[in-house]
Structure 1
Amino acid sequence: MDPLMDLTRYPLDAIARQVGTPFFLYDAQILRARMAEVARTAEGDRLHARFAMKANSARFVLDAAREAGLWIDAVSGNEVDRALRAGFAAGHEPPVIMYTADVFRDNALQTVVEHGILPNVGSPGMIRELHDAGYAGPIAMRVNPGFGHGHVQACDTGGPSSKHGIWIDDVDEVHEAARQAGYPVVALHAHVGTGPQIAEFDQNMRRLVDVFDALLQRFPDATSVNLGGGIPHAYRLDAQRYDLAGFRTLMLEAASTLSESAGRPISLEIEPGRYPVAGMAILVSRVTDVKETRSNEKGP
C-alpha cells in the first residue's frame, strides 16, 4: 500500500454496502502520480518508458499511462487490442506498442501483422512465423543475458531457469535468421526479473548495460535498448523506497555510454508494470467472526 493511501479518506462502509465484499479499492490520484513519476524518470530525447500492461490492463489504468506519455509493452494479441482501443497508436514509427513474447498464440500473430506492431521476438520460431504470415517490418530481439533477479524463482526472468528470450550465446544465429528473412533488428531487450532487493536490481541494470554495449557492435540496425521492468516496490510502509532519481541518472549515463560506444544515437527504454499500479490498490474484506484455538503438543 502506498503511504499516500490513507484509508480514512475513503467511504469503505458505503462502498461495501453497495458492492459487497471483498472488493479492490483503487485510488486514481495515486495511479496518476506514479505514472507521472515513471514518465519523469524517463524524460528526455533518448529515454522512454513503457507500461507493462500485464500488471493491470483496466481501461482507466491504460488511460493514465497514455496521458502520462508512456508507451505500451503487451504480451498477447488481446492486450494489443486493448491498448489500441485505449488510444495508443498502431505501427512501428514510432513503436508505441511493442509485442513481447516467446511464442505467437491465439490472435497475436494476426494482430501484429495487421496493425504493424513491433514484435519483440523471444524465440527463433517467431521469425519463421512472421515470415510465413507476410510481416514486413523491423523486429526487436529479447535477449536472455544468462543472469536474473527475482525475490522468488517464478519472478526470475533471466538466466538458465527462465524460458524468456534468446539465450545470449544464440543471438548471432537468430540475428542471421532475421537478416535472411529481411527483418532488421532495431531494438534489443532484456528483462531479468522483479523483486524487492534494491542493491541487486541496480547491479543487474548495470550488468545489462554492459551486455548491450557488447551486443550493439554486432547489431548495426539497433537504435534502442530496453532494460525491462522490475523496479522495486515498497510493499511495507517502513520499507525503503526505490530512488528513481538515481535510476534516472543511471539511464542517462547508460544512454550516453552506449551511444558513444556504438557510434550512433542509442535510446534507452524501461517498462515497469507493477511499480506504477501496486501502490494504488488495496483489497478490502470484511471480518465476520473471531474465534480462538489453543496451543497443544503440535505447537502454537
Structure 2
Amino acid sequence: MSAIDGLPPLREVIARHDLRAKKQLGQNFLLDLNLTARIARAAGDLTQCDVIEVGPGPGGLTRGLLAEGARHVLAIEKDARAIPALQEIAAHYPGRLTVIQGDALQIDPLAHVTPPIRIAANLPYNIGTELLVGWLTPPQWPPFWQSLTLMFQKEVAQRIVARPGGKDYGRLAILAQWRCEARIVLTLPPQAFVPAPKVESAVVHLTALPEPRFPADARVLGEITRAAFNQRRKMLRAALRGLHPQVESLLEASGILPTARAEEIDLERYCALARALSAARATAAAGARQE
C-alpha cells in the first residue's frame, strides 16, 4: 500500500537503497503501510505534537506518522544506508521531518523538538528496553514526553503491563505502571516483518501520569525492585537483606510478609516499603550527625 502518501511501496524503497535488514542493528522492517498507519493512530492526535521516532529504517512508520498529521517528526537512525530513503520522505513533507543519523542512546532529541512531544517507534530489539527504562526514569516528573507508543517483542510488552503474581511481573512493570497508564494496543505476527523474527511483537501505549500513583523516592524504589527481582526466588527478607539491618521490620511496617517473594507484592506496597526505607535511612543519618 502506498496510497497514504503517494510515495513508492516500501519493498521498492528497500530494493532501490539496498536496505537489507541487519541483525546486529536489531532490524526487522514492517512493510505493511496499513499496519504502520494503525500504529501511528494508536499514538493519538498528533496534529499539535512533535514526534520522536527511533530506528525508522526505510520509513514505514515515519510515513504513517506524517500522514496522520504529526506536526513534526524527528527520526533518529543509526544505519547510514537508510538516510537517503528518509530524506526522500522529508522532501515529500517539506519542513515536517528532520532526520538525524546517530545512536539514539547518545543523542539528546530535545534540541530538535518543541513540546508537546510524543514518542512513537518500532524500536530496534537490541536497545528497546534500555531506551524505555531511560524514558521512564528521568530526573524530573512529568517527563518531556506525553506518551510512548512503542513496538517490542511480545514477551517484553507483556512484562510492561504485567500484574503481580505471574512470571512476567517484575521491575519493568513497576517502573512503567508507577508513573504511566500502560496497555497493549496491537499484536503482530512474525510474518508481518522482513525478515520475520522468531517471536510475536506487540505495540504498547504508555501515557504519562501527572504524578506517580503513590509517593516514593524514585532512586530508592529502583534500588528495592532491583534487589528484589534480581533474586526473585528468594524470600524478600533475604533478597533485601543488604538494604537495611532491620529490613524485616520495614517489610512488616509496609504490610509485606518477610517470607513473601518479589512477584507477590503490588506497586502500592513497594512504594510503601520505599518510603519506610527512606525514613529509616534519614533517621539513621540524623543520629549519626548528632554523635
TM-score range (shorter-chain normalised) is 0.3 to 0.5
Q: Relative contact order (C-alpha < 8 Å, sep 6+): which is higher?
A: 1
Normalised by the size of structure 1, how large is the TM-score? 0.32
